[in-house]
Amino acid sequence: MDTQRKLAEPMLWWVAGADARVLAECPRADQIFVQHLGISLIGAFVFVFTISAVSILVAFPDLAGNYVATAFALACALLIATMVFLIDRLFIQSDWDWQAAQQRNALSRAGWESALIPEKLVINARALTLTFRARRFVVISFRVLLSAAIGLTIASFLELVIYKDELKPLIQRLHYEDNKELYDEINARSKRLDEEIAIARDVRDRLLAQRNELDAELNRLELQPRAFPSEAGTQGIEDQLSDLRNKIAEEENNIRRHSQTMIGEFRGTVINPGNSGVAGAGQRYWTAVDLKALSESNIALHRSRISILEQEKEQVLANRRAEREAASIETEQRKISVRARLRTVADDLSAAELRLTQLEENREATIQTFAASLKSKPNFVPLSFGVASQFRALRMLYREYGSTFEMIMIKLLIMTLEMTPVLQKVFLSPATLYAVKLDAAKRAASYSHFDEEVRLRQEHLKRKADAADAEDIATSSIRAFRRAHVPFHHKAEEVD
Sequence-distant contacts of 26-32: CB under 8 A, at least 24 apart: 26/432, 26/433, 26/434, 26/437, 27/433, 29/430, 29/432, 30/432, 30/433, 30/434
Q: Which range, of 123-127, 136-140, 305-309, 388-392, averages the lowest pLDDT?
A: 123-127
Which residues neighbour 333 within 8 Å (Cβ) at sequence distance 6 or greater? none
Which 8-state DSSP code applies to residue 224? S
Whole-number pLDDT of residue 395: 82
Helix, strand, coil percentages in the chain from 3-state DSSP, rounded to 5: 90, 0, 10
- Max mean pLDDT among 211-215, 256-260, 279-283 falls in 211-215
Which parts of 224-282 fold into alpha helices (H)?
Answer: 229-267
Q: Which range, of 364-373, 466-475, 483-492, averages the lowest pLDDT?
A: 483-492
Whether residue 154 is predicted with pLDDT greater than 70 in this model: the reply is yes
Distance CA 368, CA 9 (A): 67
List C-alpha distances in Å: 241 to 149, 244, 417.
Answer: 120, 5, 119
Positive or negative, the CA dihedral 207, 213, 216, 218 is negative
The pTM for the full model equals: 0.50
Task: Give the model's confidence band at 112: pLDDT under 50 very low, under 70 low, under 90 confident, else very high.
Answer: very low
Distance CA 407, CA 413 (A): 10
**Cα end-to-end distance, the chain, whole Å:** 99
Which residues neighbour 455 within 8 Å (Cβ) at sequence distance 6 or greater? none
- pLDDT, averaged across the chain: 77
- Sketch the domain layout of the chain as residue ranges: 2-177+387-431, 181-375, 433-496
Which 8-state DSSP code applies to residue 272? S
Whether residue 487 is predicted with pLDDT greater than 60 in this model: the reply is no
Q: Give the three-state DSSP class for 24.
A: coil
Whole-number pLDDT of residue 403: 67
Whether residue 350 is predicted with pLDDT greater than 60 in this model: the reply is yes
Share of the chain above pLDDT 90, in %: 2
Q: Give the three-state DSSP class for 65.
A: coil
Q: Are 41 and 15 in contact (CB under 8 A)?
A: yes
- Max mean pLDDT among 231-240, 261-270, 293-302 falls in 293-302
Q: Which residue has the higher pLDDT, 346 or 5?
A: 346
Q: Which range, of 2-11, 179-188, 223-232, averages the lowest pLDDT?
A: 223-232
Whole-number pLDDT of residue 212: 87
